[in-house]
C-alpha cells in the first residue's frame, strides 16, 4: 500500500514539474477563468445604452431640436447622424452607420399642440387627424435586442415639452422595423454563426500548421527545399480558403432551409467579404503556429482568440451594450468586422463599398498577419 502511494505521488510530482515548465498551459489555467470573469461580469451588458441613431428633421423647428434632445436624454439612443432626406437616412441604416433613424414631419408642431385633450370640442374626425404620432422610427430590426430597446421609446411621455402633457390616443412615435419585421432571432444568429464557425475552424486548422511539421519530422525536408517562408505560409493557407468558403455556403444554405433566413444581398460582395475574413483568421492561426511548440499549446492559444470573438464581436451581445473599453478590444478582432459585413450583405442588401472601414481592416489584418508569420518562421530545427 505504501509503495503504491509512493508511485502515485511520484507521478503527481512529475506532472506538476511538467506543468510548471509548460508556461503556456500554466497561463491558460490562470487566464481562462480571468478572461471569462472579466468578459461576462464587466464587458457584457444586455441593457443597451447610447445606440447610434440618426434624425431627419423635416420640420426644421426649435420644437424639433428640443424633441431630439428629449429623446437623447433617455440615454437609450445617441444621435450621431443628421440627414436631410429619408433616402440618405435609410442608406445609413442599410450600411450599418446607424441602427435607427428618427423622422420628424413638417407639421411636427401642429401634431404636438393640436392634441385631442386640447381640442375636445373638435369633431371626432378632426380629433383622429390630430392624434397622429409626432414622428417615426426607422429601425434596423435584425438585432432584436437593439430594436426592442428603441421600441421602448414608442410611448415615451412628453413631460419635458409640456407642463401638462396631452393625453394621446396613439403612440408618441410610430416604429417601422426594417429587414426583420417579425423579430425572429434566427435572422440575426444564422449569419453571425458564419463568423464564429469560421473563426474557430480556420484558426484551429492553421494554428498547428508549423508545429505539426516539427512533430511529424517534415521540417527537415522543408529546410532542404528552396521554398521561401512567405511561399510556405501562402501554400499552407490556400487549401483552407476553399474549406472556409464551403463552410460558409453550408451555413447559409441550411439557415435558409431550416430557419427560413433569406439572403438579400449581392453574392459577389459576400464572397469577397468572406474571403477577406478567412484570410484574416488564417493569418492569426499562422502567427500562433509560429509561437507554439506543440499542437496542444496552439489549441490553447486559440482559446484567447475564440472566447473574445464569441462574446465581444456582437454575435451574442449587442456591440452597443458594451463599455467603451470592451468596444476597443472588439475592434481588434476580425470577427467583429466580419459580423457587420455578413449581416449587412445578407440581411440589409449592403455592399462592400458601403462598409469600407471593415473591409480595409480585414484586408490589413490579413496582410500584416501573413507578413508577421513569414518573418517569424525560420527554416531551422531550433
Could you list the mean pLDDT of each consecutive 10-residue stretch along the chain, which spans 382 residues?
77 74 68 71 72 94 90 93 93 93 90 56 48 88 91 82 59 90 91 94 83 68 72 84 93 93 92 95 88 78 85 86 84 94 94 94 93 75 50
Pairing verdict, β 51-57 and 100-104: parallel
Q: Is residue 314 part of a domain?
A: yes
Instruction: Give the closest residue to 204 by CA, choosing from 334, 342, 301.
Output: 301
Looking at the structure, do residues 110 and 217 belong to the same domain, yes or no? Answer: no
Q: Is residue 11 part of a domain?
A: no
Instruction: Give the closest residue to 346 by CA, choosing from 198, 183, 202, 186.
Output: 186
Looking at the structure, do residues 152 and 191 belong to the same domain, yes or no? Answer: no
- Give the residue from 178, 193, 211 where a domain finishes: 178
- C-alpha span between 187 and 261 (Å, rounded): 6
- Give the residue from 115, 143, 178 where a domain finishes: 178
Looking at the structure, do residues 136 and 242 belong to the same domain, yes or no? Answer: no
- Give the residue from 155, 178, 201 where a domain finishes: 178
**Which pTM does this prediction carry?**
0.83
Looking at the structure, do residues 241 and 326 belong to the same domain, yes or no? Answer: yes
Looking at the structure, do residues 189 and 174 belong to the same domain, yes or no? Answer: no
Looking at the structure, do residues 107 and 129 belong to the same domain, yes or no? Answer: yes
Q: What is the pLDDT of residue 129?
A: 47
Q: Is residue 7 part of a domain?
A: no
Looking at the structure, do residues 170 and 190 belong to the same domain, yes or no? Answer: no
Q: What is the pLDDT of residue 118?
A: 43
- C-alpha span between 35 and 221 (Å, rounded): 40
Looking at the structure, do residues 274 and 125 belong to the same domain, yes or no? Answer: no
Domain that holds residue 153: 51-178
Domain count across the chain: 2
Q: What is the pLDDT of residue 168?
A: 57
Q: What is the pLDDT of residue 122?
A: 46
Residue that the C-alpha cell 451555413 belongs to? 251
Give the burial class of 295: count Cβ atoms within 10 A of its Cβ; 0-12 exposed, 13-18 middle, 19 or more buried.
Answer: middle
Q: Is residue 67 part of a domain?
A: yes
Q: What is the pLDDT of residue 128?
A: 47
- C-alpha span between 286 and 168 (Å, rounded): 62
CA distances from 250 to 193, 204, 240, 243, 255 (A): 11, 19, 15, 11, 8
Q: What is the pLDDT of residue 277?
A: 96
Q: Is residue 16 part of a domain?
A: no
Q: Is residue 200 part of a domain?
A: yes
- In sequence order, what DSSP letters do the residues of 245-273 get, joined into one string? HHHHHHHHHHHHHHH-----S-HHHHHHH
Q: What is the pLDDT of residue 175?
A: 93
Q: State the CATH number of the domain containing residue 57.
A: 3.40.1710
Q: What is the pLDDT of residue 323?
A: 82
Looking at the structure, do residues 157 and 193 belong to the same domain, yes or no? Answer: no
Q: Is residue 44 part of a domain?
A: no
Looking at the structure, do residues 335 and 267 belong to the same domain, yes or no? Answer: yes
Q: What is the pLDDT of residue 176?
A: 93
Q: Is residue 21 part of a domain?
A: no
Looking at the structure, do residues 171 and 253 belong to the same domain, yes or no? Answer: no
Q: What is the pLDDT of residue 28?
A: 67
Q: What is the pLDDT of residue 349?
A: 92
Looking at the structure, do residues 112 and 213 belong to the same domain, yes or no? Answer: no
Q: What is the pLDDT of residue 276?
A: 95
Amino acid at each position: 500500500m505504501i509503495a503504491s502511494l509512493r508511485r502515485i505521488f511520484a507521478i503527481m510530482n512529475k506532472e506538476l514539474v511538467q506543468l510548471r515548465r509548460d508556461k503556456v498551459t500554466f497561463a491558460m489555467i490562470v487566464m481562462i477563468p480571468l478572461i471569462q470573469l472579466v468578459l461576462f461580469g464587466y464587458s457584457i451588458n444586455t441593457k443597451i445604452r447610447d445606440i447610434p441613431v440618426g434624425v431627419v428633421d423635416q420640420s426644421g423647428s426649435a420644437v424639433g431640436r428640443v424633441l431630439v434632445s428629449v429623446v437623447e436624454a433617455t440615454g437609450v439612443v445617441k444621435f450621431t447622424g443628421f440627414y436631410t432626406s429619408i433616402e440618405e437616412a435609410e442608406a445609413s441604416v442599410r450600411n450599418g452607420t446607424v441602427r435607427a433613424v428618427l423622422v420628424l414631419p413638417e407639421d411636427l408642431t401642429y401634431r404636438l399642440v393640436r392634441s385631442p385633450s386640447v381640442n375636445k370640442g373638435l369633431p371626432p374626425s378632426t380629433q383622429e387627424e390630430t392624434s397622429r404620432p409626432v414622428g417615426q422610427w426607422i429601425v434596423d430590426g435584425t438585432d432584436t435586442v437593439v430594436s426592442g430597446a428603441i421600441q421602448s421609446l414608442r410611448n415615451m411621455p412628453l413631460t419635458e415639452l409640456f407642463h401638462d402633457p396631452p393625453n394621446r390616443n396613439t403612440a408618441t412615435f410610430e416604429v417601422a422595423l426594417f429587414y426583420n419585421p417579425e423579430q425572429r432571432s434566427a435572422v440575426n444568429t444564422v449569419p453571425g454563426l458564419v463568423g464564429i464557425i469560421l473563426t474557430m475552424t480556420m484558426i484551429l486548422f492553421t494554428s498547428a500548421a508549423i508545429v505539426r511539421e516539427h512533430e511529424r519530422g517534415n521540417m527537415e525536408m522543408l529546410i532542404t527545399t528552396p521554398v521561401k517562408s512567405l511561399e510556405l505560409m501562402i501554400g499552407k493557407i490556400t487549401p483552407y480558403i476553399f474549406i472556409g468558403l464551403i463552410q460558409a455556403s453550408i451555413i447559409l444554405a441550411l439557415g435558409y432551409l431550416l430557419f427560413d433566413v433569406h439572403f438579400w444581398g449581392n453574392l459577389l460582395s459576400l464572397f469577397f467579404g468572406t474571403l477577406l475574413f478567412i484570410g484574416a483568421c488564417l493569418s492569426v492561426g499562422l502567427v500562433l503556429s509560429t509561437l507554439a511548440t506543440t499542437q496542444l499549446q496552439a489549441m490553447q492559444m486559440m482559446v484567447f482568440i475564440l472566447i473574445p470573438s464569441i462574446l465581444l464581436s456582437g454575435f451574442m451581445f449587442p456591440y452597443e451594450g458594451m463599455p467603451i473599453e470592451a468596444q476597443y478590444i472588439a475592434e481588434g478582432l476580425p470577427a467583429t468586422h466580419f459580423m457587420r459585413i455578413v449581416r449587412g450583405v445578407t440581411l440589409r442588401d449592403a455592399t462592400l463599398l458601403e462598409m469600407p472601414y471593415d473591409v480595409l481592416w480585414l484586408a490589413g489584418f490579413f496582410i500584416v498577419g501573413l507578413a508577421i508569420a513569414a518573418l517569424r518562421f525560420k527554416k531551422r530545427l531550433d
